[in-house]
Structure 1
């Protein structure tokens, strides 16, 4: 019978509206051999009091209070204080189904040398009402060899983007997964606390590189709350710096695995999309207030980083949108003016719509 300790790492920052539901879902799991490591990341609301209440209620809870330093550092503190054979990450505004850990552990018991187990998620709104069941695996899958490469590609190309790629559910987030604690600790895999975007993706890429077998479960066990405050493509003050940093780290981590042509294609498409996001979320966003000269300088700055510069020497045979094709052409042929005109046009259209109350 499987009875290994499961470490559940829960970073909390100003989540007083949701944290009680989350913690209740964890301490009431049908699988009892868990340790819940709560990292209070300097909350200024009632989250701290709520966490302390549960600390007194359940001896399996470890509460660590730290100064506010971001979710990556909070998770790292959780990893360093974990004792479990397996590690699971949960966000404070989400929750697990009551038998989630038990169901996942059944597959750990059944499969030899399993390095990662992933399960599906429900998408819910702020009130907790089900919005939809996110695209996930339909049947149980055990991945190794070539299938593992296809799974690896999915971290660059999100599920559903390309018909030619099989659906592997959510590869980018760290939630909805059970990680082998030995792999994490032996390889010192931690979150990069300099990043404010793509932290999960970077952690997973490094972890996946040590995996030989992955199990994808068809069960919907994680409830992911979509909050209106978490606008994924809104204005970002330091977008150029953050996306540049993300692309540089991924360029280094994936250098060896990009020998395969298909992974190379997926990686290059990711670079194109990240370049576009860095510009449209940063200097070319309607809220940026950058002058024409400053937008041009920021564009030049982004084009000088190694992953973007490398695009001019490559081919890309994959499905892209019109915008992505233009960006790829501009990067490959070093047509800076083409990219500048495209982005300036979008910038001025959005400024006009903003002034009329129709910002996109």
Structure 2
């Protein structure tokens, strides 16, 4: 199992019970982006989440930058910083899954960032739709200067759904390329992942293509919300 090489180098702080969301962030040589990502987490309007950072053997200054930011700002959410020898994105995400405690799990790439109301919108939607198994949302693309770029997904009519969807509806939309297979385009219950032993395939390309359809298949009720990363 991937996490046998993992060691905790920062203990979890401000331990919380019944955390809504575990945000899993694999890190590998992203010193250019890590600051923006962490700041987007620190600024969240709702702090009912934990962040699990997994250093997948970075050789640049990513971890030093992360540590400096975390040490220099007052954290209102729990976090863990895990370290492992380089094994790739799939292995890092699996390590995050095995260390998550939140009711829901979200996979956030380390060169991305989220809107400051992301967690709050997820929480509100969970209450509104009586804790759906999975929540799907769109995204916006920006360049390194923060300028908006054209994107192919996340803006079509499917994202204007107002009712709960079944796994069949979502898988049909997936087959038509109306929604992406990317792991960062949804939030799902940890129980869905654990019950069906869902992990990312290590050592294979396009790992999301194998993982995401399984999440949708095993999700009994899914909601599409008007939220962008």
Length-normalised TM-score, structure 1: 0.54
Cα deviation for residue 36 of structure 1 reads 0.6
2:187 matches 1:131 = no
2:188 matches 1:188 = no
> Which residue of the partner structure matches residue 9 of structure 1?
24
> Given the superposition, is the C-alpha separation of residues 62 and 55 from structure 1 closer, same or farther in structure 2, using an over 3 Å criterion?
farther
Q: In structure 2, which of residues 181, 189, 194 is the aligned counterpart of residue 172 of structure 1?
A: 181
How many residue pairs get aligned? The number is 206
Distance 1:126 1:55 in 2: 22
Alignment of 1:1-360 (within 5 A): 4-56=19-71, 57=73, 58=75, 60-132=78-150, 134=153, 135-136=155-156, 137-145=158-166, 148-159=167-178, 170-197=179-206, 199-220=207-228, 222=229
Structure (1 or 2) with the greater helix fraction: 1
Distance 1:88 1:33 in 2: 13
Q: Which segments of 5 or more consecutive residues in structure 1 lack a partner in the other structure? A: 160-169, 223-360
Contact 2:52 2:96 in 1 (8 A): yes
Residue by residue, what CA displacement relative to the aligned partner does 1:134-158 show, whole Å, maximum 9, x if unpaired? 424452433444xx32320233331
Distance 1:100 1:83 in 2: 19
Contact 2:53 2:80 in 1 (8 A): yes
> Given the superposition, is the C-alpha separation of residues 34 and 100 from structure 1 closer, same or farther in structure 2, using an over 3 Å criterion?
same
Contact 2:19 2:101 in 1 (8 A): no
Secondary structure of residue in 1 paired with 2:170: helix
Residue by residue, what CA displacement relative to the aligned partner does 1:160-218 show, whole Å, maximum 9, x if unpaired? xxxxxxxxxx3301113111011111222110012122x11211111112111110012
Length-normalised TM-score, structure 2: 0.83
Cα deviation for residue 129 of structure 1 reads 1.3
- Point out 4+ residue stretches in structure 1 off by more than 6 angstroms: none
Contact 1:30 1:98 in 2 (8 A): yes
Secondary structure of residue in 1 paired with 2:203: coil
Contact 2:164 2:223 in 1 (8 A): yes
- State which structure, 1 or 2, has the greater radius of gyration over its C-alpha atoms: 1
Q: Which segments of 5 or more consecutive residues in structure 2 lack a partner in the other structure? A: 1-17
> Given the superposition, is the C-alpha separation of residues 50 and 180 from structure 1 closer, same or farther in structure 2, using an over 3 Å criterion?
same
Cα deviation for residue 41 of structure 1 reads 0.7
Cα deviation for residue 53 of structure 1 reads 2.1
